[in-house]
């Protein structure tokens, strides 16, 4: 009895750890939105002594490595919790050191851009991500029922693999910058390599892994054959799909051919994924709270739009157009990272009780979504006007600034709504597939 009580206490402590991690991740999301609004203001009224690019680096690094990385850290350890003392301590150390690296980047990038200290902190984050990928996967292999969660584990394992692969981009930037080719094709190709395997690899497969875990956890029947076909098509497509990120360099014809093949593979994976989701949606949606339905539903729609836009980029004319009109690139990145990944993460953590609406949460999410949709429409709208040779939107930077205001306000309200949230109980954690209790 004493042993069982100790184990239950350990699970409760794990739940509290996860709650704190999710809260910290959300705090970074608020900071990212504030930095984004500040960048919009700099487009309207530049401030003497403030380097726009340096703050842009801080904004993007905290978005990817603060908000999303920490949110997935929390989510992955929620679904397969580490309740042994040694594992808990290891993940606590990892998360603490991750905060050191993220805060280091937050304060050094605005001051110096890519320089000694910001590079040290970003390198630290890469090494910590290796540690997390290795220790998390070892924990899963030892303690999780790999039969029950076979599908979700395929996606999660591949997500971690792509996270590691993405780091090749930053490692390559050192020699590239040392040669003095900053701003050249190699420089941007390394950046796009990192971004591609982050949002098309690590984030996408982590989202799908959490989605399939939810279906497995609630014992909703899914066609595993279709789910695995979707997995293989999407996973195998991710590698050659990097070609789509370098078509702006106008490479040899064989690179375009690789791009076409990767797009066809992605569409095949998407079709199988849609077949799986159509089969389970009616049953799964009954388990979702209203706001979760909205967030997850939108996220899945944006995932389809993301792949559709990626498909168009395989054609030389569209690839060249996207390169010339940065509105499309920024709009696409925000659609992928905010519309697809972030909305799903918010919905998933809200569903699991790691976030709550509270008194202001619904208002906050409404404001955030309003700002997101407004900025996306302005961004793509301005791009289309330039493309068609029509009159551009007047005072575009002012419009973007005011359209962005609701996002930090909304996320701030949602964050305030988390005050007083506590672990809802050990049952949900202890039933998540962990076999050590």
In a 13 Å sphere around the CA of 237, the CA atoms on its Cβ side amount to 25
Q: What's the pLDDT score for residue 407? A: 98
- The pTM assigned to this predicted structure is 0.93
Q: What's the pLDDT score for residue 85? A: 86
pLDDT tens digits, residue range 305-319? Answer: 999 999 999 988 888
Per-domain residue ranges of the chain: 1-143
Mean pLDDT by 10 residues, the chain (437 residues): 48 80 97 98 94 96 98 97 88 98 98 92 98 96 87 97 97 80 80 95 98 95 94 97 92 93 97 96 92 96 96 88 87 96 98 91 96 97 92 93 98 92 52 40
Task: Identify the sign of the CA torsion 99, 103, 105, 106.
Answer: positive
């Amino acid at each position: 009895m004493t042993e069982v009580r100790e184990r239950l206490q350990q699970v409760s402590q794990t739940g509290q750890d996860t709650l704190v991690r999710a809260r910290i991740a959300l705090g970074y999301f608020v900071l990212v939105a504030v930095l984004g609004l500040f960048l919009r203001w700099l487009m309207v009224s530049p401030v003497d002594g403030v380097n726009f690019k340096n703050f842009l680096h801080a904004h993007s690094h905290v978005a990817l490595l603060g908000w999303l990385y920490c949110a997935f850290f929390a989510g992955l350890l929620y679904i397969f919790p580490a309740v042994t003392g040694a594992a808990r301590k290891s993940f606590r150390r990892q998360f603490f050191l991750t905060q050191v690296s993220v805060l280091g980047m937050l304060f050094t990038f605005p001051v110096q851009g890519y320089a000694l200290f910001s590079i040290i902190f970003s390198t630290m984050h890469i090494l910590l991500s290796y540690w997390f990928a290795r220790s998390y996967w070892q924990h899963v292999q030892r303690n999780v029922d790999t039969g029950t969660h076979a599908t979700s584990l395929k996606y999660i394992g591949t997500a971690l693999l792509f996270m590691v692969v993405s780091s090749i981009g930053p490692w390559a930037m050192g020699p590239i910058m040392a040669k003095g080719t900053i701003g050249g094709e190699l420089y941007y190709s390394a950046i796009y390599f990192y971004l591609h395997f982050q949002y098309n690899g690590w984030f996408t497969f982590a989202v799908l892994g959490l989605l399939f875990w939810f279906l497995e956890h609630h014992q909703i029947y899914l066609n595993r054959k279709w789910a695995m076909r979707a997995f293989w098509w999407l996973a195998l497509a991710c590698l050659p799909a990097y070609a789509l990120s370098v078509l702006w360099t106008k490479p040899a014809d064989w690179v375009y051919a690789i791009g076409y093949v990767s797009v066809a593979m992605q569409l095949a994976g998407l079709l199988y994924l849609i077949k799986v989701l159509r089969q389970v949606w009616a049953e799964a949606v009954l388990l979702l709270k209203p706001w979760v339905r909205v967030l997850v539903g939108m996220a899945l729609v944006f995932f389809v739009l993301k792949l559709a836009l990626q498909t168009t980029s395989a054609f030389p004319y569209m690839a060249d157009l996207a390169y010339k009109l940065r509105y499309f690139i920024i709009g696409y990145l925000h659609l992928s990272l905010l519309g697809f990944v972030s909305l799903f993460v918010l919905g998933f953590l809200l569903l699991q009780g790691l976030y709550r609406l509270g008194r202001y949460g619904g208002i906050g999410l409404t404001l955030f979504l309003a700002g997101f949709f407004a900025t996306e429409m302005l961004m793509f709208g301005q791009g289309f006007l330039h493309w068609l040779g029509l009159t551009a939107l007047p005072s575009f930077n002012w419009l973007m600034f005011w359209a962005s205001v609701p996002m930090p306000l909304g996320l701030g309200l949602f964050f305030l709504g988390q005050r007083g949230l506590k672990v809802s109980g050990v049952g949900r954690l202890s039933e998540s597939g962990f076999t050590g209790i």
